[in-house]
Structure formats: structure tokens, C-alpha cells
């Protein structure tokens, strides 16, 4: 979704004008908003997204920056839950904390959210969740069709991944540069001691080997919740 369409949807959803939005955001002149509207500015910057969310905090930061996923962090009318690391159990499913972070499919792509403290934005219902599980949103298209942009993945930390990775599964990998990538991880045939092979489900993206020393954390994807209009 283009930045102009993102801004248009905010204007329509809030039932305000571009000038009114500029005033709420504390922008002295609204020309930049019109530049976005007219397609002269192609992307909403991180600083601009922060200004919008300072006025309307329910808009998803990932959606503002990329146009991917759901527009609002929490569906209108949905109950909210207190923050905490524990999983809330309700009837036959568990409400798992959803973190404000994203996992990007591309090996060389940047996350929509970087260098921000981690916090819970809402809770999502999953079966088979365990204590310590959490969920995050997917950005990028390299893991389509199984994990399309905007989908939510339930993830579980792999404590001893250097000893046993569980090849053939989809993982979220935290890298030394702070990025979180989403890949199917396979054994590296040429050098399994120092590398793992990262496979994209979207065949337009190449298979690449990743040094184990560049990985600082691993979470296994347990379940995938595809965006169907939440």
C-alpha cells in the first residue's frame, strides 16, 4: 500500500482534513502531508509514523511504515489485557502476548521496528501455546505463501540451538545487527559447523548461508495466523 493511500485511510477513518491532521501532529505547515497525498513523498518515515502515533496510538507502526498487516493494533471493541510476561488462559485457548516487534522475511531487509524497547501491544488467541511463548507480526514477502506480510507467528525460544537446531522448520533469527529475520533453516552441506542455510518460501528469493556467529537468538515458529481482516 502506497503512503498516499495510508494517509488517505487515516483521514477517512478519523473524519478529519489534512490540515487538521497536520495541526494535531504539531506540523507548522501541511505541505508535507499534501506531498504524501500527491505521491511526491513515497514512504512515511519513522519520525512521521511516530508523530501520527503520538496523536492516534492505535495505528500499527508496521502498517504506517509499510502498508502491510492490519491498520489498527487492536480491533475496535476488543477487550484489552494488562501487560505482563504470563500467558492468559481463557476457556480452551491461550491469549499470548503480542510484541511490538516484527520479523522480516528478507535476508537483507530492515525491520519495520528497530531500536525500540519491547512491549506488549495486545494478546492473540492460540491453541497449544506454552509459558514464555509470544507472537510477532511478519513484514516482507519472502516467506509467502505460508507466512505472508501481516500474518502473526507464535514463536518459542530455542535455548540450545547451537547444539540442536531442528532443521527444516521455520525460525525467527535475531542477528547481531539487531534485525529479526524469518526463514526456513536447513543444514549447511558445505560447512555445517559454522553456517546454516536460510531458505525463502517465495522462490523469487535465493537460498543463502548464514554464519552461526552472526546469530544471537533463535525462536521456533509454532503456529501461523494469516491476516483475514482482524
Nearest to 136 by CA among 109, 84, 172, 176: 172
Q: What is the mean pLDDT of residues 49-71?
A: 83
Instruction: Tell me the CATH architecture of domain 3-57.
Output: Orthogonal Bundle (1.10)
- The confidence score (pLDDT) of residue 30 equals 57
The cell numbers describing 181, all together, are 529475520
- The confidence score (pLDDT) of residue 48 equals 82
For the segment 166-192, what is each residue's pLDDT rounded down to a tens digit?
999 999 999 999 999 999 999 999 999
The cell numbers describing 110, all together, are 530492515
Calculated CA dihedral for residues 67, 68, 74, 75, nearest 10 degrees: 90
For the segment 128-150, what is each residue's pLDDT rounded down to a tens digit?
889 899 999 999 999 999 998 88
* Interatomic CA distance for residues 134 and 209, integer angstroms: 27
* Interatomic CA distance for residues 95 and 185, integer angstroms: 28
Per domain, the residue ranges of the chain are: 3-57, 88-225
Q: Given this structure, which CATH class describes domain 88-225?
A: mainly beta
Instruction: Judge contact between 188 and 199, C-beta under 8 A.
Output: no
| Alpha helix (H) residue ranges in the chain | 3-14, 18-25, 31-37, 46-55, 61-66
Statement: residue 78 has pLDDT above 70: no
Statement: residue 75 has pLDDT above 50: no
Highest mean pLDDT (candidates 49-53, 145-149, 218-222): 218-222
Q: What is the mean pLDDT of residues 45-65?
A: 83
Q: How far is CA 42 from the centre of its chain?
A: 21
Amino acid at each position: 500500500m502506497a503512503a498516499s493511500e495510508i494517509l488517505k485511510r487515516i483521514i477517512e477513518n478519523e473524519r478529519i482534513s489534512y490540515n487538521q491532521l497536520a495541526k494535531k501532529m504539531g506540523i507548522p505547515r501541511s505541505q508535507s502531508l499534501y506531498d504524501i497525498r500527491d505521491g511526491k513523498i513515497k514512504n512515511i518515515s519513522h519520525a512521521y509514523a511516530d508523530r501520527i502515533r503520538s496523536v492516534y496510538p492505535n495505528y500499527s507502526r508496521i502498517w504506517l511504515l509499510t502498508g502491510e498487516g492490519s491498520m489498527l493494533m487492536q480491533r475496535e471493541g476488543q477487550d484489552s489485557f494488562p501487560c505482563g510476561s504470563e500467558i492468559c488462559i481463557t476457556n480452551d485457548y491461550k491469549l499470548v502476548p503480542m510484541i511490538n516487534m516484527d520479523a522480516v522475511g528478507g535476508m537483507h531487509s530492515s525491520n519495520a521496528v528497530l531500536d525500540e524497547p519491547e512491549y506488549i501491544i495486545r494478546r492473540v488467541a492460540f491453541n497449544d501455546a506454552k509459558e514464555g511463548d509470544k507472537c510477532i507480526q511478519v513484514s516482507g514477502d519472502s516467506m509467502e505463501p505460508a507466512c505472508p506480510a501481516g500474518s502473526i507467528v507464535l514463536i518459542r525460544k530455542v535455548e540450545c540451538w547451537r547444539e540442536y537446531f531442528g532443521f527444516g522448520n521455520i525460525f525467527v533469527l535475531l542477528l547481531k545487527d539487531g534485525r529479526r529475520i524469518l526463514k526456513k533453516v536447513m543444514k549447511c552441506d558445505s560447512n555445517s559447523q559454522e553456517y546454516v542455510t536460510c531458505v525463502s518460501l517465495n522462490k523469487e528469493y535465493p537460498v543463502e548461508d548464514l554464519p552461526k556467529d552472526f546469530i544471537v537468538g533463535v525462536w521456533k515458529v509454532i503456529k501461523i495466523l494469516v491476516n483475514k481482516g482482524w
